[in-house]
Each structure stands twice: as structure tokens, then as C-alpha cells.
Amino acid sequence: MKKLGLGLCLSAMMALTTLAVAAEKPAAKKETPPDLYEGTPDWYKAVYRDNVGMREGSGPFKDYFKPQMLDMYWQPNRHYEPMKNLDHSIFIEKERRDLCVTCHEEATPGVVRDWRSSGHKNPKSTPYLSSRTAEIEKRTNRVLNEVHCFDCHADTQKKQIRMPTGEVCGECHRPQFDDFLREREVGRPNHIQSWEANTIVPWYAEAARRGYLYGQHGCDLCHSGAEKCDVCHTRHKFSAAEGRQPEACITCHMGPDHPDAESYGESKHGVIYHKEEEHFDFTRPLAEVRPGKDYRTPTCQFCHMYEKHGRFIHNPVMKGIWRMGTIPPKNLEYTSSLKDYPYGIKIIGDKIDIYSEENVAKRSYWLEVCAKCHSDRFADTYLKSLDQFMFQAHTLADKAQKIIDDLIADGFLYPSAADRDPYPLSDGIEKQLSPAFLGEPIYNAFKTLKGKFPVVGPILGVYGMFLQQQDNPSDIENNYNRLWFWYKLQGYKGTAHVQQDVSWWWGQAPMMMEFTKIQSEAARLRREGRIEKVSVSK
């Protein structure tokens, strides 16, 4: 369920992307304090960054729900509140570092032991670590013999305990922080906007309003990767080596919408990894990994964090071409309303041109990675066949969407949009979002029809997987959601990660079976509609 939540939130988000904030090149980075929201507009900071504790939610629809208490840990800038049971200010004022460990060694011994075995406790314990620490010392003008609880958890200005965010880590780990920040350049789906992806979709607030807030626990858990580094480098070891292991990714990257763990794990790449795991040297920085020696097979990180020309970047999204597989490519002729995608909506990302100059360049960077072990021709042929798979899958989705488009046009969709609950949070969309945000026609549709119109297909049609409402959507629409959102994406991951079973039995086969269901259901709706008309006319 969690996976599902994750996935759909991600995908929804990618759609709603433009909202997001084009990244501006930060000027004089090194001198400015790290800021996860650098380059984002003021409205964005006001709903995602400014701390409101538990008073209100996040995102444009923040006023429609109050967050779960747990959200303070997932999105600390926005929601964290220091503990009230014990006022820690005295320890911070007097900078009694010794007492943190004295108490927490007993209160939370696992945390302290983790820290003791971390590079933070002994930042100069090996020659390699020493050299990295020396770089940080030089950059920050500090002497670092120990990075202590106090350094990350004490807010010395407010005199209270804080939950560290990437900004705190970025004070020392600035290059990694800046690389992470660059995820904004490519837009959603990414990690740094994952909380935005979670809460900007209207169905999140609508579900909360309908009493399903805690049902979205799974969404929150994965989408908490926006501000925190411990998503990959778990507390309190914060091990770089751990972050290089495929297992660092799989708690989120699994399941119906992106079975990465399954498709990589059961592929030949994954099988070799599992067989020979103990021979992999994860202590080596990615750029120094010798394929065939340190790694006999690639990891998630080795392929996805390779940027170009031998350089690795500290984020895994820069080379993505098909992104999550949800956005239709420009390179097809569509018969359905997909030809109008993104329907003039300003906040949804445009179709992807797979052969754009940028994407052709990205493909060559992929080939640079593959060529560590495969011939250029094999790799190129493989990736081209992935493109063909995706074109076919999107074509099938187009045919399915056409069936539903026609049902709507001919008045056979049942129950009709006018007889259903409106689109999620229609009142909020009308109130909170502007024509500039939504596009004039869509905005007007909300204004005049109050959300009583059908929404089908990527991305906004996915709400049916996240929200239960009266007759909205109907079964056939959810069949279509499964086709394009689950099975197409499963086929994509199976094919991309070279896992034949996932490609076929989780992908292509159920996509076709779902298509058949859609055809049958459409035929039934038409038949019933005709019968009804005849009986009414009699």
C-alpha cells in the first residue's frame, strides 16, 4: 500500500510539475548558508518551509488538513516542534556536550553506539577519512576532531533541540548538498520535491478531509525524502558506504508503481550482486569503483548517479529520460485526448521528447555507463528496444483512453460526471489556485462546473487510486488507471532493469488483460445505455 502511495504521489507530482519552481543558479554558493529551498518562489517557501508545527498542513491546500504528528519528523522545516516534556535549553545554553551522551547512552543506547562507530565520532580515524575531513575543515574554517550531538541537534539561537535537515548536513557536506539541490533542475519526479509531490495533489487534502489522513501514512513515509539525508544514509552512522548499497533505495523503490527492487533484484545484475555481495567494496567512492573488480555488476547508485564523462553526482535523477514512465512521449500520434496532454494545464509537465537534443545526450551518458561492461552496440540496441517497449505501451494506453473518451462523448459513461462526487477538492482548487496556475480553460471549468467533469488518464486521473468517493471514479476508469499507472510502469521497470518476468507478467500481460476488461466494460455500458434509452423512449 505504501508503495502504491509513494508511486502515485510521485507520478502525480511529476504531472503537476511546473508549479515547481525552476531552479535558478545560486550565486556565490559557498558563501551562503545552505538552503534547500534556494531558488524557489516566496509562495513556495511560505507553504513548504516556514515552520507552522502542527497547526496546518503543507502545500497550496495546507488549510484543508492538519498534518499527522509524525510529519514533524518527515518534514522538519515545516512541522518540527521541540519536545515539551523536558526543556533542553539549559544544556544548550551551557553547551554541556558531555551530558547529551551521558543521558542518551542510557535513554537511547542504539543511537549513541551508532554514533560512536560513525565517521562523525572519529573523523580522522583513517587516512581517507582524514583527507575528507581536512577538506571540510578548510572549507568551513573549523577544527573537526569530533562531530557531536550538539553540532547537529542544538539550535543555539533558539536554544532548543532541532531535527537536522539537509541544511544542517550541508554546513559541512556542501558539495553533496549542492548536488542534491540540482534535482530541481530536472523537476519531478525527484527526491527534493517529494514532499511537494505528496501534498500538492488535491486528493491528499481531500482524503484527509474525508477521514483518510492516516491511510496516507505510506505516502508520507516515502515522500519524506525532501529535506533529510538519513533517507539513504541512516541515522546515526550516516555511512557513505551504506548509501552506495542497493538496499539503501529499496524501502521506497519497490511495489506496483515502480518495482525497482524486484526488477533489479531478480535481474542478472541483481542476482550477481546478491551472490557476491561480500566482494563488493562499498567503501570506495563511486568515481573510483573499478567495474569487474570492486563491483562485478552495477548497483542502482552506480548507474543512476553517474552523471556524464566519468563524473558522478550526488543525486540519482539527472540522467532520467522516461522519468517514471507516466508522462506520454511527444514522438507518437495519439488518437485519444492524450493528443491534447497536458490539456493546457500549466502545472503539469509537457510531453517528453525522447529524441530531444538533451535526451539524446543523456542517452549517450547512459551508454558510457553500460560500456564499462557491455559493447556500445549491445547497450544501444537494448536501450532502443526499451524505447520501443515504451512507445508500444503508451500506444496501448492511448487506445484505452480513447475508449473512455468515446464513452464520455457518447454519454455512456455511468454514473456520469454530473451524478457523482466532484473531482477531489474542487472547492479548494477553485479557491486556492489561479488561472495562471491552472490555465484559463481548466480554471473556468472548476469555476462553472464545480469539479463535475470527468478526469481521465495521466496524471490527474490517477486520483481513483488514492481516494474513495461516491461513484468517482467508476470501475472502468480505475481499470484504465491500473493499465497506465501500474502495469505500464511495471513493464517499463522490468524492461529497463532487464527482468523478463516483471517485464511480461507484471507488465505487458496484465496491461493487455486490463485493456480487454476495458473493452468489455465499455461494450456493457453501451449496451445498457442503449437499453435504457429504448425503455425510456417507450
Partner 1 sequence: MKPKVLLDKVGLWSATVVASTALILGVAPMTAKAINVPTAVTEDGKNTYKKYCSPCHGEEGKGDGPLARSMLPKPRDFTRGAYKFRTTPSGSLPTDEDIFRTISYGVPNSTMIPWDILTEQQRASIIPVLKSFSEAFEVRKPEPPVNVGLEIRPSEKSLAEGKKIYEEKLECWKCHGVEGRGDGPSAAEQEDDFGFPIKPFDFTTGKFKGGNSDRDVYLRFTTGLNGTPMPSFAKELTDEQRWCLTHYVMSLIKPEETCK
Residue ranges that bind partner 1, judged by CB under 8 A: 85-87, 90-91, 94, 96, 99, 102-103, 105-107, 109, 112-113, 116
The residue (of 119 and 243) whose beta carbon lies closer to partner 1 is 119
Lookup: cell for 169: 548536513
Identity of the residue, 110 or 411, whose beta carbon is nearer to partner 1 in the bound complex: 110
Q: Please report how close the Cβ of residue 246 comes to partner 1 at its closest, in angstroms.
A: 31
Cβ atoms 195, 75 nearer than 8 A: yes
Shortest Cβ distance from residue 214 to partner 1 (Å)?
23
> What is the C-alpha separation between 414 and 400, in angstroms, rounded?
17
DSSP 164-178: --HHHHHHH-HHHHH
Q: What is the smallest separation between the CB atom of 336 and partner 1, expressed in angstroms?
A: 56
Closer residue to partner 1, CB minimum distance, 102 or 364: 102
Nearer to partner 1 among residue 22 and residue 86 (C-beta): 86
Q: How many CB atoms lie within 10 A of CB 528?
A: 12
Nearest approach, Cβ of 168 to partner 1 (angstroms)? 24
Which residue's CB is nearer to partner 1, number 27 or number 107?
107
CB of 199 to partner 1, least distance (A): 30
- Burial environment of residue 130 by CB neighbours within 10 A (0 to 12, 13 to 18, 19 or more): middle
Q: How far is the CB of 146 from partner 1 (least distance, A)?
A: 14
Q: CA 414 from chain center: how many Å?
A: 33
Composition of the chain by helix, strand, coil, percent to 5? 55, 5, 40
410: cell is: 457518447
| Residue 389 CB neighbours (<10 A) | 20
Q: How far is the CB of 106 from partner 1 (least distance, A)?
A: 5
Smaller CB separation from partner 1, 3 or 120: 120
Find the shortest distance in angstroms from Cβ 113 to partner 1.
Answer: 6
Contact 295, 319 (CB under 8 A): no
Cα-Cα-Cα-Cα torsion 528, 532, 535, 538, nearest 10 degrees, comes to -130
Distance CA 490, CA 393 (A): 11
Q: How far is it, in rounded angstroms, from Cα 336 to Cα 526?
A: 18
Minimum CB–partner distance for residue 90 and partner 1 (Å) = 6
Output 94 or 377, the one with its CB closest to partner 1: 94
Cβ-based nearer residue to partner 1, 91 or 280: 91
Place of cell 518551509: 49
Q: Give yes or no for a contact between 484 and 457, defined as CB atoms under 8 angstroms apart.
A: yes
- Cβ proximity to partner 1: between 116 and 517 the closer is 116
Minimal distance in Å, beta carbon 112 to partner 1?
A: 7
329 DSSP β-pair partners? 352
CA–CA dist 454, 412 (Å, integer): 12
| Min dist. Cβ of residue 97 to partner 1 (A) | 12
Residue 96 grid cell? 554541556
What is the 8-class DSSP label of residue 29?
G
Q: Could you give the CA distance from residue 175 to residue 173 in angstroms, rounded to a whole number? A: 6
Q: Which residue's CB is nearer to partner 1, number 91 or number 195?
A: 91
Q: Is the separation of the CB atoms in 11 and 493 below 8 Å? A: no
Please state, in angstroms and rounded to a whole number, the distance separating the CA atoms of residues 343 and 337.
Answer: 8
- Judged by beta carbon, residue 101 or residue 303, the one nearer partner 1 is 101
What's the gap between Cα 306 and its chain centre? 19
Question: Do 7 and 256 form a contact (C-beta atoms < 8 A)?
Answer: yes
